Amino acid sequence: MSLNLDDKKAVVAEVAAQVATAQTIAVAEYRGIAVGDLTALRAKAREAGVYLRVLKNTLVRRAIAETQFAGLSDQLVGPLIYGISEDPVAAAKVLNDFAKGNDKLQLKAASYAGNTLDKAAVQALASIPSREELLARLLGVMQAPVTGFACTLAALAKKREEEVAA
């Protein structure tokens, strides 16, 4: 079903609004994927805060023109699904994780920080831990000395109690 001019303008405006706050756009070819699998992919994307949608390439080209993602325009060929996220790794991670379990989804390219990434770079970007994971690791590292100190004090107190009781 084709879109009329007003619908096309609305889609371009919606995508432009998403792109305005995004840090990453990841693109994958979805040819031959079952509807149920695409529904599962959309659910995972929603959980991760990724805007995921199948769009007409010409409309996306218009939406990303004159943005940091304009370099991605050359890669927009074929039936593509677009992942757009404010988190630098979320879009790449969602598409890459799904592609591991479904060989019909082929990562094609991405754009991050004004740079266009090929498939290997998208996979590398997807392997970076998310912001939340990095913060959790940092918190664990910061708590380790305090936890060790508290355990040492508890052991000394217990030893002292045993000496007094004996």
- Band of residue 47 on the pLDDT scale cut at 50, 70, 90: very high
| Signed CA dihedral, 120, 73, 115, 129: sign only | negative
Each residue's pLDDT tens digit, 53-81: 998 999 999 988 888 888 888 888 889 99
Distances, alpha carbon 56 to alpha carbons 29, 62, 89, 92, 155, in Å: 13, 10, 24, 20, 65
Average pLDDT, the chain: 87
5-128 is classed CATH 3.40.50.720: no
pLDDT value, residue 46: 92
Residue 1 pLDDT > 70, yes or no?
Answer: no
Domain boundaries, the chain: 5-128, 129-166
pTM listed for this prediction: 0.75
- Band of residue 6 on the pLDDT scale cut at 50, 70, 90: confident
The pair of structure tokens assigned to 84 is 């757009």
Q: What is the DSSP string of 25-73?
A: EEEEE-TT--HHHHHHHHHHHHHHT-EEEE--HHHHHHHHTTSTTGGGG
Mean pLDDT of 11-19: 88
